[in-house]
Amino acid sequence: MTLEYDVVVLGAGPVGENVVDRVRAAGLSCAVVEAELLGGECSYWACMPSKALLRPAIARSEARKVPGLRGHAFGPLDAHEVFAHRDSVVGNWQDDGQVDWVRSTGADLYRGHGRLDGPRRVTVQAPEGDHYALTARHAVAVCTGSRAVLPELPGLTGARPWTSREATSSSQVPDRLVVVGGGVVAAEMATAWQALGSHVTVLVRGGGLLSRMEPFAGEHVAAALTERGGEVRTGVSVTAVVRDGSTGPVTVVLADGDHVEGDEVLFATGRKPRTEDIGLDTVGLEPGSWLDVDDSMRVAGSDWLYAVGDVNHRALLTHQGKYQARIAGAAIAARAKGDADPVPWGPYSATADHAAVPQVVFTDPEAASVGLTLSAARDAGRPARAVDLDLASVAGAGLFASGYRGHARLVVDPERETVLGATFVGPGIAELLHSATVAVAGEVPISRLWHAVPAYPTLSEAWLRLLEAYRDGAGTS
């Protein structure tokens, strides 16, 4: 059976859903194909379950620093209750609500494995054996996301390691958890499982945690993990993994001859695109590759194929993928209605991917950043000056928590006097990030930021102190 639509979307995670929403709002017919749960990685194995695990850990930690509460917040977390809440947040890994939403848009849903079959064609093999051939009049959008990468190490397959999926979905607390990696997944899951009762050892090949942020961010997070009884080892490489029997402990062998034992091992060592079996070879592209796109998310060299979200490797973040989906949907609709080449700005160009990507790491303490770090700005040849602030000096910090510890940095272009980037680390700082994102994305002059008055006494007073430091030349490098 061959069916024709204006747009066919491969993948019904948050990114694919947003493409569907935009093209349907523009009046285009649409089919969406999904082999797993509608809602994708973020809803069931990443953003949502991880934050459900982390929130109790962070709330308990903050309560321990509040007079009148701290004496009552030293008991263990109720792991059973935490897991039950996590399960509720992910809908017990059922996607009925997402299915209802897709159908409410008027899009047609096809469950099964979708593959490109030449230009503007997609075939679907349904689980029950049905076969569908879909044709797109205007566009096919590949929104298939990414999956965890496991390195090729002796013994690793037989050791049954955790990836991010197992780390966010397990309902058993291992006595000892070894975490291999130093990025966001490693830092967040080390925080969550340590709070649930695991003794956590983090093995980082590089020099520290969260290496894509300013160095102080990872230093604060590592220090907090260590103070709570964990161990963070940097500059180490794993050479083999051995599991003792089917349920015994895991031994992680290091290049220096040392080893670390745990009951489970989590490898948080990167992502790869889910493009290895979607028919890229039928349209002249390499299976398993990241897909290069322009700022409207259209694949290089094509006038009909779009790649949105993780698969284009621009910014592997759910909110950024959804932003790209809004751009792609608008561009597809404009071109379908006769705009040969929509203007390269406004709703048709994902400019934030280049200069204003925000990210929050929900560790304890939280770490958040947007735009360029100082080293990234200088590596790019940008004039850059850093302004630093000890967040403990802000009045709102002492009210937020006794013994508050945190740090903030603005990276400023001293020639244009605009903010190129911002990084914050400390309890409760995640909500500071959007103001920084507006400043970076809007290229708001420092002279105007003086008139954005922070409410007193809040953590956002950090903005005033950073501007004063910039004006006075204090705390800068």
* pLDDT one digit per residue (tens) for the chain, 477 residues: 569 999 999 999 999 999 999 999 999 999 999 999 999 999 999 999 999 999 999 999 999 999 998 888 888 999 999 999 999 999 999 999 999 999 999 999 999 999 999 999 999 999 988 999 999 999 999 999 999 999 999 999 999 999 999 999 999 999 999 999 999 999 999 999 999 999 999 999 999 999 999 999 999 999 999 999 999 999 999 999 999 887 889 999 999 999 999 999 999 999 999 999 999 999 999 999 999 999 999 999 999 999 999 999 999 999 999 999 999 999 999 999 987 566 666 778 999 999 999 999 999 999 999 999 999 999 999 999 999 999 999 999 999 999 999 999 999 999 999 999 999 999 999 999 999 999 999 999 999 999 999 999 999 999 999 999 999 987 666
Helix 215-227 and helix 184-196, axial crossing angle in degrees, nearest 10: 20
Domain 365-472 classification at class level: alpha beta
Q: Where in the chain is CATH 3.30.390.30?
A: 365-472
Report CA Rg, the chain.
24
Q: Is the pTM of this model over 0.85?
A: yes
Query: What's phi and psi for 307, nearest 5 deg?
Result: -130, 120
DSSP string, 359-415: EEE-SSSEEEEEE--HHHHHHTT---EEEEEEGGGSHHHHHH-TT---EEEEEEETT
- CA 288, CA 285: separation in Å to the nearest integer? 9
In terms of Cα–Cα distance, which of 473, 87, 64, 139 is closest to 307? 139
Contact by Cβ (8 Å): 108, 30:
yes
Q: What is the pLDDT of residue 181?
A: 97
* Res 232: pLDDT: 98
Residue 30: the pLDDT is 98
The separation between the first and the last C-alpha atoms of the chain, rounded to the nearest angstrom, is 65
> What integer pLDDT is reported at residue 71 of this predicted model?
82
Q: Which residues contact 393 (CB under 8 A, 6 or more apart)?
A: 465
* Model pLDDT, residue 343: 60
CA angle, 340 then 19 then 328, to 5°: 35
The b-or-e profile of 385-414 (16+ CB within 10 A means b, else e) is bbbbbbbeebebbeebbeebbbbbbbbbbe
Pairing mode, strands 385-390 and 305-307:
unpaired
- What lies within 8 Å, CB to CB, of 310 at 6+ separation is 15, 145, 146, 271, 273, 274, 316, 321
2-39+95-147+273-352 to CATH, choices 3.40.50.2000, 3.50.50.60, 3.30.420.10, 3.40.190.290 = 3.50.50.60
DSSP-assigned beta bridge partners for residue 250? 243, 262
Residue extent(s) of CATH 3.50.50.60 domains in the chain: 2-39+95-147+273-352, 157-269
Work out the angle at residue 55's Cα, subtended by the Cα atoms of residues 54 and 61, and round it to the nearest 5 degrees: 95
Which CATH superfamily is 157-269 part of? FAD/NAD(P)-binding domain (3.50.50.60)
